[in-house]
Structure 1
Amino acid sequence: MKIVNMNEIKEDLILQAAQILTDNLPIGWPTLDDAIDEIKERLIPENVLLAAVEDNEIIGWGGILPQYNGNVFELHPLAVKENMRRNGVGAAIVKALEDAARSRGGITMQLGADDEVNDRETSFANVDLYDNLPRHIENFDPGTHQTGFYMKIGYKIIGVVPDANGIGKPDIWMGKRL
Structure 2
Amino acid sequence: MEIINMAQLNETQIIQAAQILTDSIPIGWPTLQDALDEINRLLIPENTMLAAVEKDIVLGWGGILPGYNGNVFEIHPLAVRGDRRKQGIGRAIIAALEDEARKQGGMTIYLGADDERGNGETSFANVDLYDDLPEKIKSFSPGTHQSGFYLKLGYKIIGVMPDANGIGKPDIYFGKSLRKL
Place the TM-score, normalised by the shorter chain, in its bin.
over 0.9
Alpha-carbon distance, 1:130 to partner: 0.6
Q: Aligned ranges for residues 160-175 of structure 1 at < 5 Å?
A: 160-175=160-175
Q: Aligned ranges for residues 52-131 of structure 1 at < 5 Å?
A: 52-131=52-131
**1:42 paired residue number:** 42
**1:28 paired residue number:** 28
Partner deviation per Cα, 1:60-85 (whole Å, 9 max, x = no partner): 00000000000000000000001111
In 2, Cα distance between equivalents of 1:68 and 1:132: 29
**1:158 paired residue number:** 158
Residue 154 of structure 1 aligns to a residue whose secondary structure is coil
TM-score, normalised to structure 2's length?
A: 0.97
Moved over 6 A (4+): none
**2:177 paired residue number:** 177
Alpha-carbon distance, 1:169 to partner: 0.2
Alpha-carbon distance, 1:125 to partner: 0.4
Residue 159 of structure 1 aligns to a residue whose secondary structure is strand
TM-score, normalised to structure 1's length?
A: 0.99
In 1, Cα distance between equivalents of 2:88 and 2:119: 26
1:144 matched to 2:147: no
Conserved in 1, the CA contact under 8 Å of 2:21 and 2:29?
A: yes
Q: Which amino acid aligns with 1:155?
A: Y
Conserved in 1, the CA contact under 8 Å of 2:120 and 2:169?
A: no
**Identical positions, percent:** 67
Q: Which amino acid aligns with 1:91?
A: R
Q: Which amino acid aligns with 2:155?
A: Y
Equivalent pairs, count: 178
Partner deviation per Cα, 1:107-135 (whole Å, 9 max, x = no partner): 10000000001233000000010111001
Alpha-carbon distance, 1:2 to partner: 0.4
Structure 1 vs Structure 2 CA RMSD: 0.5
Structure 1 gap segments, 5+ residues each: none
